[in-house]
Amino acid sequence: MDHKENVLTLPSIFNNTLLKHGKSRAYAFVGEDPMTFEVTARYIRSVTALLESAGIEKGDRVAILSTNMPNWPIAYFSITFMGAVVVPVLPDFSATEFANVLEHSGAKALFISSGLLHRMEGLKHGSLETGILLDDFSILFSENNSLRFNPEAVTSKEYVVEEEDLASIIYTSGTTGRSKGVMLTHRNICFNAEKGKVIQPVDENDRFLSVLPLSHTYENTLGLILPLLGGSCVYYLRKPPTPPVLLPAIEQVRPTVMLTVPLIIEKVYFNKILPAFTDKRIMKIIYSIPPARKILNKVAGKKLYSTFGGNLKFFGIGGAKLNKNVERFLLEARFPYAIGYGLTETSPLLAGANPSKTVFDSTGPAIEGIELKIHNPDKKTGEGEIWAKGSSIMKGYYKDPEMTADVLTPDGWFKTGDLGVLDKNNNLFIKGRLKNMILGASGENIYPEEIESVINNFCGVVESLVVQQKGKLIALVHLNMEEIEKKYNILKQDMADKADKYGEWVQEILTELQEYVNSHVNKFSKINKVVIQPVPFQKTATLKIKRFLYT
């Protein structure tokens, strides 16, 4: 393995960290002692030896289906350091999606965590020869009967990995349907992490608290490879990041860096912060006065900062668009948030800024070494599709040259499918997905995401989706009925004997919601009807609604 500085391969950057920070803390579950990078390196060697014994060679695909744990990075590095290709599978993929990924990728081996073993039931193994339990590297099944994990084992070969070698195939369960296998090289991933570190420098004193799945490229590059570059420690949760799990974890770790999606901070704002300012009529009036609101937000911001452990210097938000009211609160609260923009196909980061440089409603400028341009901008608004070029752009879609040719131009530009505009300082503002854009009756561009952000500010709305039916805009809305009943002082049991009255009352709220929205949007974006969505919408790993299921 090479020790040259600035070779953009995973073994090279790991070895650089090992030389500088070998005794530093690397990975742990919350509340447990972290293993050092030296201990991690020993594990990587013995797991690589295990893969070698299982007949894995350079270029072979090896899947990981697991929740986050310290053994996840060990498996990931063991696979990629030997020149094999890692196929990380999202834990919330259905059994069918998982089977499709295994089949399409032709994975020869699989690491799986004990909590997800049920996904193996009835699975036709196909090319799969070896199954390894990620919790302790014990063998689940193998064509080699003598295969055992030996923590003392060392590899028998020297592996040479090049920057342009394939490191990972990441299957996106996008908001648009069929999963695609995105091919990322060592250079793609390492370059992206290095440029992330330019935005937010990290070192061996930093503590990352990981709350997003490692199989998602956002957490993978910025929550695993970026901390590796600085010799930082990453802590993992044993359970999903619900408030009862997250709050004690934050208290213990007191993280300096967290990477999240909008839904996490939006829930905190709408459930905890906003009610404190709007429950009482007098407070609501005071909070509606901008100078007073700024003072109250600053006070609430101090409290929020201490809730997050009091040591945060970087609270990254990505994966979907952040609600504007929530962002305004974070800005006025002086909370160290930063918005980033990217896609799986771009490893992922394309644009972003440090918390000290955030620009309201923008994702900031292109990261160093990446070119962004607005293709075919509208003459009046300057809006158009965002195109990107640089070392983070994927090699293509696995086994799908046609789909690759659709998104990659011959001269290397990647068509993101997102609509945006650049200001004079080159800050990027995202308008929405090109596929989601609705064409109005007179040819106007309507962005459902912008209407949804207005709907989601209405009291009691949990989430919403705007679709077009027969040329009219319809809002599907999932409500928190308890919150609404509290607001209107109505109890369900009072209404039990007056079921029709309850229905009337709900209809009244929907009408009020429609009037509220239509008074806050332009005339083309007015909604025609509000429909209750009784259960939460189905979502992707970054908690974006799977639109294709509802349109």
Q: Tell me the CATH number at 173.
A: 3.40.50.12780
Residues 423 and 454 placed together within one structural domain of the fold = no
Which pLDDT tens digit goes with each residue over 111-133?
Answer: 999 999 999 888 877 899 999 99
Percent of the residues in the chain that have a pLDDT greater than 70, as a whole number: 95
Q: Inform me whether the pLDDT recorded for 88 exceeds 50.
A: yes
Do 83 and 187 lie in a common domain? yes
Indicate the pairing of strand 472-479 with strand 461-469: antiparallel
Distance CA 524, CA 442 (A): 9
- Classify residue 115: in a domain, yes or no: yes
Torsions phi, psi for 129 (to 5 deg): -105, -25
Residues 298 and 427 in one domain: yes
Query: Does a structural domain hold residue 30?
Result: yes
* Same domain? 49 vs 178: yes
Per the model's pLDDT, the better-predicted residue between 300 and 180 turns out to be: 300
The two tokens of residue 446 are: 């309507």
Amino acid at 300: A
Tokens standing for 102? 């295994």
- 390-428 burial, b if ≥16 CB within 10 A, otherwise e? bbbbbbbbbeeeeebeebbeeeebbbbbbbbbbeeeebb
pLDDT in tens, 454-504: 999 898 899 999 999 888 899 999 998 887 777 666 655 555 555 667 778
- Spatial strand order of the sheet with 396-397 comes to 138-142, 130-133, 109-112, 61-65, 85-89, 166-172, 180-185, 396-397
The answer to whether the CB of 150 falls within 8 A of the CB of 46 is yes
| Same domain for 360 and 250 | yes
| Best-predicted range by mean pLDDT (32-36, 244-248, 534-538) | 32-36
pLDDT of residue 172: 82
Rounded Cα–Cα distance for residues 419 and 172 (Å): 20
| Same domain membership, residue 194 and residue 299 | no
43 within a domain of the structure (yes/no): yes
Task: Render pLDDT for 323-345 as a digit per residue (tens, 0 to 9).
Answer: 999 999 999 999 999 999 999 99
Give pLDDT, residue 3. 47
Please report the pLDDT score of residue 175 as a whole number: 47
pTM: 0.88
- pLDDT for the residue numbered 177: 53
Is the domain of 188 the same as that of 272? no
Together in a domain, 107 and 165 = yes
Contact 370, 392 (CB under 8 A): yes
Query: Which pLDDT score is estimated for 178?
Result: 65
List, for residues 170-219, the tens digit of each pLDDT value.
998 654 456 789 999 999 999 999 999 999 999 999 999 999 999 999 99
Radius of gyration of the chain (CA): 24
What's the pLDDT score for residue 132? 98
Q: What does the pLDDT average to over 508-534?
A: 91
> To the nearest whole number, what is the mean pLDDT of the chain?
92
pLDDT digits (tens, 9 = 90+) for 153-176: 999 999 999 999 999 999 986 544
Q: What is the pLDDT of residue 493?
A: 54
Residue 297 tokens read as 């937000």
Tens of pLDDT, residue by residue over 406-445, are: 999 999 999 999 999 999 999 999 998 888 888 777 667 7
Spatial distance between the Cα atoms of 40 and 348, rounded to a whole number of angstroms: 25
Expressed in percent and rounded to 5, the helix, strand and coil fractions of the chain are: 40, 25, 40
**What pLDDT does residue 394 have?**
98
DSSP string, 266-286: HHHIIIIIHHHHHSSHHHHHH
Does residue 205 fall inside a structural domain? no
Residue 23: is its pLDDT beyond 70? yes
Pair 148, 171 in one domain: yes
Is residue 189 domain-shared with residue 280, that is, in the same domain? no
* CB 260 within 8 Å of CB 315: yes
Q: What pLDDT band is residue 94 in, cutting at 50, 70 and 90?
A: confident
Number of domains in the chain: 3
Q: Which of 87, 108, 86, 104 is nearest to 96 (CA)?
A: 104
Of 155, 185, 200, at which residue does a domain stop? 200
Model confidence band, residue 1 (pLDDT cutoffs 50, 70, 90)? very low
274 and 368 share one domain: yes
Give the domain range for residue 544.
438-549
CATH number for the domain harbouring residue 442: 3.30.300.30
- The domain boundary, picked from 433, 468, 491, lies at 433
Angle at 99 between CA 435 and CA 91, to 5 degrees: 70
